[in-house]
Amino acid sequence: MSDEEETPAEEEAAPEEEEAPKEIEALVYKSADFKTEKHVPVIEAPASAKKNTVITIKVSVGKQVPHPNTSVHHIRWIRVYFVPDGKAPIEIGCAEFTSHGESADGPDKGGVYTEPQAIVALKTDKPGKIVATSYCNIHGLWKSEVGLKVA
């Protein structure tokens, strides 16, 4: 078949992206503490900042009550986002925690355990919110957020 005989490809309209309903987000991300363990990421950040100055954000899981950190029950990661007012989220950083006592000798025999803490920094000229998510290998996804005013 020559180039002249090719039939034009049909253009398919891209499906419009829809925002997930709040009910679905609530089913996926939990934000209230579960049992006696602390899973919700704790965000330590200023409530306000000057435009385009460095804002340091510390996120941890288990600040008040330590989360278990064993081979079979641990926090795998923390992700931090900035959501400018009226805009889509921007991922600021991700920390993965990969040592939970594993070793060739078996679970919890390695002697090295990472702690679920992350420090990230950003500059912005827009107000919005800082959102932190974490993942517990047993209890799933967790989320918290705090507002950020910019002047």
Where in the chain does DSSP place strands (E)? 29-30, 41-44, 48-49, 55-61, 75-84, 90-96, 117-122, 128-136, 140-150
100 is known as an active-site residue: no
Alpha-carbon distance of 1 to 141, in angstroms, equals: 54
22 is known as an active-site residue: no
What H or E segment, with its residue span, contains residue 69? none
37 is known as an active-site residue: yes
Q: Which amino acid is at 134?
A: S
Cα–Cα nearest to 134, from 33, 51, 39: 39
Residue of 37, 58, 63, 129 marked active site = 37
Classify the C-alpha dihedral 18-139-137-76 as positive or negative: positive
109 is known as an active-site residue: no
Residue of 58, 63, 129, 139 marked active site = 139
Tokens of 141: 């996804």
Residue of 74, 100, 136, 143 marked active site = 136
Residue of 30, 73, 129, 145 marked active site = 73
102 is known as an active-site residue: no
Active-site residues, by number, are 37-39, 67, 73, 136, 139
